[in-house]
Amino acid sequence: MSRGTKKSADARRTTHAPRGAVRNGALAAKMAGSRKGAGEGVLPGMPNNKKTTQRQGFKTNEFIVYPAHGVGQILAIEEQEIAGAKLELFVINFIKDKMTLRVPTAKIVSVGMRKLAEAPLVKRALETLKGRARIKRTMWSRRAQEYEAKINSGDIVAIAEVVRDLYRSETQPEQSYSERQLYEAALDRLSREIAAVQKITETEAIKEIEGALAKGPRRGPKPAEEAEAEPAAEEEAA
């Protein structure tokens, strides 16, 4: 072999890395990229944006509204390991119901958990109480289902509508047992949220609600035809 040919072969050997080294380098780069993706580039001591987003701005000690149970307070935010995966949870206490609920932070949107209503929305709910009751001429069982759906919707104005529609003044016949139950459930949800927003007691909130109801249209006895239809409706509810 000539000197020039040998020099060219040496040059080829030195300018190309071994195939094994290339594969190992590519693998290392891929692993580094995956590690970065898993950690989202978060350095030690920095907040995890994903967790912050899942929490939707909710904080410890904050009062919230959970549609199925009403007003509760976030006691803590904790992590649990389930099937090898870490799960972040809100620990929510419902003092009046003597119940503690753990809700995954990733699920709060789907369950409808929300912050307390702003003052303008509370005012709108109180104005709703002053309106005329809107009672559909349908069987009680169907109306009861609609009322229950409104109570569990977590919508403060919808709950106020239930209180308004089921309220009975002294000049009206007393409520049936099933009506009374739904009325008290709606009144409880509404008064607890108003109390939490205005930082007053529930007793004071109920007085405010009853004051708004008293300002509504005069509530007299039921029309004769409606009074006759009521027993059938009550039988359907049973």
Q: What is the pLDDT of residue 218?
A: 65
Distance (Å, whole) CA 13 – CA 113: 66
Q: What is the pLDDT of residue 81?
A: 85
- According to the CATH classification, is domain 119-237 in 1.20.58.1290? yes
pLDDT per residue as tens digits for the range 49-75: 555 666 878 999 999 999 999 999 999
- Give yes or no for residue 104 having a pLDDT over 60: yes
Mean pLDDT on 124-133: 95
- Give yes or no for residue 7 having a pLDDT over 90: no
Sheet with 63-66, side-by-side order of all strands: 99-104, 85-94, 70-82, 63-66, 114-115
CATH 1.20.58.1290 in the chain: give the residue spans: 119-237
CATH 2.40.10.170 in the chain: give the residue spans: 53-115
| pLDDT level of residue 3 (50, 70, 90 thresholds) | low
Pick the CATH number of 53-115 from 3.40.50.300, 1.10.287.110, 2.40.10.170, 3.40.50.20: 2.40.10.170
CA distances (Å), 226 to each of 145, 163, 185, 187, 233, in order? 20, 20, 24, 25, 10
pLDDT per residue as tens digits for the range 34-51: 444 443 444 444 455 555
Query: Positive or negative, the Cα torsion across 54, 58, 61, 63?
Result: negative
Neighbours of 62 (CB within 10 A): 14
Q: What is the pLDDT of residue 1?
A: 52
